[in-house]
Copies of this chain bind each other. A is one copy, B any other.
C-alpha cells in the first residue's frame, strides 16, 4: 500500500489502519461524550431521547414539533412518547402557534431549563477539558472533520443559526 504520501500539499496518506483508528476514536469518544449526561438522566428517570429533545428546545425556543422531528430524525410516535412525559412532568410547554394554530411551539419551563443546565453543564465540562487538553488548533480540526462527516442535510441543521 502507499507508504509515500501523494505529492501536492494535501499529503493525506490514509491507510486503512489510520482510518480504522479514526473509526474507533469516534466510537470510544462518543461513549465518553454521553457518559456524564447519562448519569444525570438516570437519576431522574429520563433517557437520551429526553436529553436530545430538551437540548434542541433550549437551543431554539418555540420550535415546532415537525422541526424537532426533522432534526432528531425519528418518527412522530417516538418523539411524542418523549414529549408527553416532558409535558406531564412540567419540563416543556407547548404554545399554540400565532399565525398557524395547528403548530405547537415548544418551550422549556423553568424546571426544564434547570434540567437542561444540569445536562449541558456536565457535557460542556468534559468538552472544555478535552478542548483544553488538545489545544486550539486541534479544536479547529476537530470541528472541521466532524462537519465533513455529517450528512448534508444534517450539516444544514448544524450550520443553521450559524455560530463560530
* Distance in Å: Cβ of A101 to nearest Cβ of chain B: 30
The quantity of this chain's copies bound in the complex is: 2
Given contacts A20-B124, A25-B146, A158-B25, are A5 and B137 in contact (CB under 8 A)? Answer: no
Given contacts A20-B120, A145-B134, A164-B21, are A150 and B32 in contact (CB under 8 A)? Answer: yes
Interface residue stretch chosen among A11-19, A61-69, A82-90, A91-99 = A11-19
Given contacts A139-B12, A149-B126, are A28 and B154 in contact (CB under 8 A)? Answer: yes
Known: A18-B164, A22-B131, A141-B142. 7 other contacts (CB 8 A): A7-B140, A8-B136, A19-B127, A26-B29, A32-B149, A138-B140, A138-B141
